[in-house]
Chain A
Amino acid sequence: MLGDGSLERLKREGRIVVVGASLAGLRAAETLRAEGFAGSLTLIGDEPHEPYDRPPLSKQVLLGRAAADRTALPRLRSVDATWRLGVPATGLDMAAGRVRLADDDEVPYDRLLIATGVRARAWPREAEAELDGVFVLRTRDDSAALARRLEEGPKRVLVIGAGFTGSEIASACRERGLAVTVAERGAAPLVGALGGVVGAVAAEMQREHGVDLRCGVMVTALEGDASGRVRAAHLSDGSTVETDVVIVSLGAIRNTEWLAGSGLGAGPRGIACDAGCRAFDIRGIVTDDIYAAGDVARSPHPLFGYQFLSLEHWGNAASQARIAAHNMISESTDRIPHMEVPAFWSSQFGVNIKSVGVPSLGTEVLISQGALRDHRFIGVYGYQGRVIGAVAFDQARWLPFYQELIETTAAFPPPFPTVDRCSDGQRPLDADFPDPSVPTHGPTVTLGGYSPADRRMTFTPAH
């Protein structure tokens, strides 16, 4: 903006379109209005529902303590928007400034925010994925359908993939008294996000709660009966699991296919944007009118060597959306960078797991407080002599302290004594993250190198 009044005009009568009507889209819309945007605001969402909260879908809803269709997000202020729900965006014309919708309508914009998020990775064999009793869990409808099936009391539930979602599902099923088998390709649950030392604790928790946990195996085929209901799964170790409910929990795929050919720097790794959420085009030039936020965005983070970081975290979606919205209607000197320290939580098998920073970047871990055997501890992750992440099992109140260590790039191992340190924590251990070339469910944080639009990734369709 050149101080020629164009920004004021944009705020008064401009058109802002937000593609993606979940947490990031809603919080961005609220921020735009809170900061005085008085023009037209359109929210486009592929699901027919108003913005809802996803964390309860794998916890309260599966426990039967909340209904999936009653998880709408609270509204922090009125957004006075036009909602186009149940209509996916199918294309983007950057030159004309238009978003194409599945119903062939086109919506023009002066500023565009892309917050299309991710979707669950489906079971790769289509015919097997369509068997009755095979589920994924990402949306409200997924959760409602799965909760209904769990209510019927299946004989055995098989969870494929022991990342956070898969582990939470297994936990809820055990709490409901259902027999559960978990099949994980890696050496332990959560190993992609937290490494093998902490993953071993997660494995112990699962087994203590009666999960039939099988690591280092892959499910090779799902088998249906004559009526098309799943009845068994075949595993790579030659065993067979008889099951009537299978939940495929193999991570997520970024919703960027609709941007193919648009010229935006978008691909399977997400949409590259700068720290101010402005999206790059495929030439590596930052756009002035297109922004990205939430799970679909990847942006450089100063704490992590300015590498592009994608985060599938609730808190990241909310805060990045607010920053994108602010920057969309601000002079360049008033823009603010998105550099919040990543954080997430999970609760499973009665334990509250919380993390700050990026543990999966760490090479070593020190159990600085508590003990692994008590399933109550803090693990601090180190990378090249500095603290890069921390995880707490039922020790959440200490995390802000560790967050400060990460923010100040404190030395690892921390040179000071810590409260309640046990024999576990006398020296750092190899954090034991899987070799990236070995397939596992993967972490929910992805470092994508420096290229704003890695050509190999950008031009390769997701499958």
Chain B
Amino acid sequence: MVRIAVDLNRCQGYAQCAFLAPEIFTMHGEEALLYAPEADEAHRAKLAQAAAACPVQAILVDAVDVPAGAVSDAR
């Protein structure tokens, strides 16, 4: 799984992501963006393309694989 967040303060609705990865990003109205906060591994390459193509670099994607145990409350 790949986690996604979009800094919508930066986003200006250029919609490049919606063209490149429509499974994840869709326009909602004229300029608001809706995105899937989590995507299948299969979409990782597309997602990277969409993030790179964003003119205002608003798309944040996992840079590291966080192991499943990483959020346990181990002391």
Contact = CB atoms under 8 A, between A and B. Distances in A.
Nearest to B2: A74
A82 B74 contact: yes
A314 interface: yes
A350 B8 contact: no
A66 B37 CA distance: 7
A71 to B, nearest CB: 4
Interface in A187-238: none
A74 B47 CA distance: 13
The binding surface of chain B is classed by DSSP as: loop
A144 interface: no
B36 interface: yes
Given A53-B37, A59-B34, A77-B64, A351 B29 contact: yes
B41 interface: no
Interface residues of B, number: 33
Interface string A329-340: 000000000000
Contacts of A50: 66, 70-71
A73 B64 CA distance: 12
B47 to A, nearest CB: 10
A74 B60 contact: yes
Given A83-B74, A350-B28, A73 B5 contact: yes
Contact of B31 (A59, A315, A396): A396
Contacts of A63: 34
A154 interface: no
Contacts of A83: 70-74
B43 to A, nearest CB: 14
Interface in A31-65: 49-50, 53, 55-56, 59-60, 63, 65
Contacts of A350: 28-30, 32
Nearest to A84: B73
A82 B75 contact: yes
A74 B61 contact: yes
Contacts of B1: 70
Given A315-B7, A343-B9, A396-B11, A56 B63 contact: no
Contact of B5 (A74, A84, A344, A347): A74
Contacts, number: 100
B22 interface: no
Given A60-B35, A73-B3, A394-B29, A354 B9 contact: yes
Given A60-B37, A70-B38, A82-B75, A394 B31 contact: yes
B49 interface: no
Contact of B8 (A55, A60, A72): A55
A331 to B, nearest CB: 28
A304 interface: no
A167 B63 CA distance: 34
A394 B30 contact: yes
Interface string B36-75: 1110000000000000000000001111101000111111
Contacts of B12: 396-397
B45 to A, nearest CB: 16
Contacts of B31: 352, 394, 396
B3 A74 contact: yes
B20 interface: no
A345 interface: yes
Given A76-B63, A344-B9, A394-B29, A65 B34 contact: yes
Nearest 8 A/B pairs, CB to CB? A350-B29, A347-B32, A352-B32, A50-B71, A74-B3, A70-B38, A315-B9, A71-B37
10 contacts: A53-B37, A65-B36, A83-B72, A84-B73, A86-B73, A345-B11, A350-B29, A351-B32, A352-B32, A394-B29
Given A82-B74, A87-B73, 16 more contacts: A50-B70, A73-B3, A74-B5, A74-B63, A75-B64, A76-B60, A78-B64, A83-B73, A315-B7, A350-B28, A352-B13, A352-B30, A394-B29, A396-B12, A397-B12, A397-B13
Interface of A: 49-50, 53, 55-56, 59-60, 63, 65-66, 70-78, 82-87, 314-315, 318, 343-345, 347, 350-352, 354, 394, 396-397
